[in-house]
């Protein structure tokens, strides 16, 4: 092993090179995500003001399928293409992936698909960094690091959680293991992209846990309440199985759609019609779109799930079903924000059943179902700290790792490798 002192100057040069290389990339990814968030907000409000837009969802599905089939090249593979390319560069990520996913996600949300947005942010980051790498003729390890940095930048700008984004970008590649060799470039890209996106004035949702405990044991202050820890454990098992169920439901529905209807245009139309049918049965539009806010008094949303009575006991199932149908039908956006919704509303219900603080359990569900479905428990623990503060760090960690442990080896990204089996 070389000693670092004689190597320090070259180590410093490598660091400075990455720093300079990443500034323009972070600026572009951060700005595109600011634009994306602005358009998404506009689409969500427009749909809320004009509920009839939902009836055009099948038509919107045709448009999304058309633009991907006509212009997409291999963009359709989305996040999986980027994960594969980081593992083994070769297939190439087309630059057009960025505008395609941006437009089709906005279309999905404008017409009431139930979808997320992290897929879009990750693909904007991945496509921009791939194009940027081509420009500077990066290859091999450098190209892989650049892609990881692009993913971190996109995720970071979207949720304004730079460290969680960094860990996510390296943790999502393989189950059960993380490697540190691209952390520093990814962290810089994530911090800068978030800075750029925020400086554009993009608002990010603020969450808050009011519950604060001061636990004593034999008259001495301790970090956790054992009863509460037990409740978190039970909830975490439920979150883990739910994360698994989500991934399986999407896969199974995709399979069924493909075998029964075959034609992708037909699948999009049928998927759109099923969503319209379910929403008509429900009688409100709480379970479509992003679900961060509800646009009606007393509606169910991620935000409402942090308050007592802010979710029905079946809310998580409806969101799971509608999102799985939307994504299996070919609409775009991603899974993460719906996973937040599913976790927060399930957490709300479990807190009610077990007599636990609703806001804490909504927060735990928010991160733990995501951790389970994507196999990224460490990123989600850190996301908990970045969104909700460090008071409940230990409950966050227990919930994310236990949920991860119960979610099997598949997850929602089929390109993810299994490095270290869970048991």
Q: Which positions from 3 through 32 interact with its own copies, judged by CB under 8 A?
A: 3-5, 7-8, 11-12, 14-15
In the complex, the smallest distance separating the C-beta of residue 14 from its own copies, rounded to whole angstroms, is: 6
Look-up of token digits 């479905």 = 373
Which tokens go with 357?
């603080």
User: Does 262 sit near its own copies (CB under 8 A)?
Assistant: no
Ranges within 201-230 binding its own copies (CB under 8 A): 201, 217-224, 226, 229
In the complex, the smallest distance separating the C-beta of residue 174 from its own copies, rounded to whole angstroms, is: 10
Closer residue to its own copies, CB minimum distance, 228 or 329:
228
Let me know: does 371 contact 353? Beta carbons within 8 Å: no
Instruction: Pick from 195, 266, 278, 292 the residue near its own copies by CB under 8 A.
Output: 195
Report d(CA 123, CA 125) in Å as an integer. 5
Phi-psi region of 286 (alpha: psi -120 to 50; beta: other; left: phi over 0): alpha
User: Does 2 sit near its own copies (CB under 8 A)?
Assistant: yes
Report d(CA 256, CA 267) in Å as an integer. 10
Instruction: Pick from 37, 152, 305, 397 the residue near its own copies by CB under 8 A.
Output: 397
Cβ atoms within 10 Å, residue 86: 24
User: Does 394 sit near its own copies (CB under 8 A)?
Assistant: yes
In the complex, the smallest distance separating the C-beta of residue 256 from its own copies, rounded to whole angstroms, is: 17
User: Does 69 sit near its own copies (CB under 8 A)?
Assistant: no
Give the DSSP letter of residue 136: T
Closer residue to its own copies, CB minimum distance, 181 or 210:
181
Ranges within 304-323 binding its own copies (CB under 8 A): none
User: Does 66 sit near its own copies (CB under 8 A)?
Assistant: no
Report d(CA 26, CA 186) in Å as an integer. 10
In the complex, the smallest distance separating the C-beta of residue 279 from its own copies, rounded to whole angstroms, is: 29
In the complex, the smallest distance separating the C-beta of residue 187 from its own copies, rounded to whole angstroms, is: 6
Which tokens go with 186?
């990814």
User: Does 176 sit near its own copies (CB under 8 A)?
Assistant: yes
User: Does 35 sit near its own copies (CB under 8 A)?
Assistant: no
Piece of the chain touching its own copies by CB under 8 A; list 275-283, 290-298, 324-332, 398-406: 398-406
Instruction: Pick from 17, 45, 69, 179 the residue near its own copies by CB under 8 A.
Output: 179
Instruction: Pick from 178, 278, 317, 354 the residue near its own copies by CB under 8 A.
Output: 178
Q: Nearest Cα to 161, choosing from 197, 185, 130?
A: 197
Piece of the chain touching its own copies by CB under 8 A; list 99-107, 108-116, 118-126, 377-385: 377-385
CB-based burial label for 121 (10 Å; 0-12, 13-18, 19+)? buried
User: Does 420 sit near its own copies (CB under 8 A)?
Assistant: yes
Closer residue to its own copies, CB minimum distance, 223 or 296:
223
Give the DSSP letter of residue 296: S
Element (H, E) at 418: strand 417-418
Cβ contacts of 149 within 8 Å, gap of 6 or more = 22, 25, 129, 169, 182, 185, 186, 188, 189, 190
Closer residue to its own copies, CB minimum distance, 69 or 177:
177
Piece of the chain touching its own copies by CB under 8 A; list 52-60, 98-106, 334-342, 391-399: 391-399
CB-based burial label for 271 (10 Å; 0-12, 13-18, 19+)? buried
Piece of the chain touching its own copies by CB under 8 A; list 41-49, 115-123, 184-192, 272-280: 184-192
Closer residue to its own copies, CB minimum distance, 219 or 297:
219
Instruction: Pick from 36, 159, 244, 316 the residue near its own copies by CB under 8 A.
Output: 244
Cβ contacts of 353 within 8 Å, gap of 6 or more = none
Which tokens go with 28?
């572009």
Ranges within 145-174 binding its own copies (CB under 8 A): 160, 162-163, 166
Q: Nearest 10 degrees: CA dihedral of 267, 272, 278, 280?
A: -150
Closer residue to its own copies, CB minimum distance, 349 or 407:
407
Which tokens go with 115?
């979808």
């Amino acid at each position: 092993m070389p000693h670092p002192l004689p190597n320090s100057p070259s180590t410093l040069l490598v660091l400075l090179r990455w720093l300079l290389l990443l500034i323009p990339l972070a600026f572009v990814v951060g700005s595109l995500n600011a634009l994306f968030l602005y358009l998404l907000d506009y689409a969500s409000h427009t749909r809320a003001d004009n509920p009839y837009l939902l009836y055009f969802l099948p038509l919107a599905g045709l448009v999304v399928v058309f633009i991907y089939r006509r212009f997409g090249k291999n963009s359709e593979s989305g996040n999986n293409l980027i994960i594969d390319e980081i593992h083994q560069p070769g297939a190439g990520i087309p630059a057009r992936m960025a505008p395609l996913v941006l437009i089709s996600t906005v279309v999905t949300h404008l017409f009431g698909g139930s979808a997320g947005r992290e897929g879009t942010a990750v693909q904007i980051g991945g496509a921009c960094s791939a194009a940027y790498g081509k420009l500077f003729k990066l290859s091999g390890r450098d190209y892989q690091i650049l892609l990881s940095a692009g993913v971190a930048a996109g995720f970071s700008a979207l949720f304004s959680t730079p460290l969680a984004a960094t860990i996510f970008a390296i943790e999502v590649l393989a189950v059960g293991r993380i490697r540190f060799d691209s952390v520093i470039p990814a962290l810089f890209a994530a911090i800068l992209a978030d800075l750029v996106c925020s400086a554009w004035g993009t608002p990010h949702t603020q969450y808050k846990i009011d519950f604060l405990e001061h636990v004593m044991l034999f008259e001495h202050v301790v970090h956790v309440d054992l009863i509460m820890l037990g409740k978190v454990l039970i909830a975490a098992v439920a979150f883990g199985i739910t994360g698994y169920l989500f991934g399986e439901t999407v896969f199974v529905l995709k399979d069924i759609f493909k075998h029964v209807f075959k034609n992708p245009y037909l699948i999009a139309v049928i998927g759109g019609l099923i969503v319209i049918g379910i929403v008509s049965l429900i009688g409100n539009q709480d379970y479509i779109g992003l679900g961060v806010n509800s646009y009606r008094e007393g509606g169910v949303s991620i935000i409402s799930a942090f308050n007592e009575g802010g979710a029905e006991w079946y809310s998580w199932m409806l969101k799971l079903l509608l999102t799985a149908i939307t994504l299996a039908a070919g609409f775009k956006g991603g899974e993460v924000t719906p996973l937040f919704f599913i976790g927060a509303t399930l957490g709300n219900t479990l807190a009610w059943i077990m007599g636990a603080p609703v806001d804490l359990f909504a927060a735990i569900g928010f991160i733990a179902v995501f951790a389970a479905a994507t196999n990224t428990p460490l990123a989600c623990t850190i996301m908990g700290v970045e969104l909700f503060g460090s008071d409940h760090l230990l409950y966050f960690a227990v919930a994310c790792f236990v949920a991860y442990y119960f979610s099997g080896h598949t997850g929602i990204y089929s390109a993810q490798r299994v490095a270290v089996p869970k048991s």
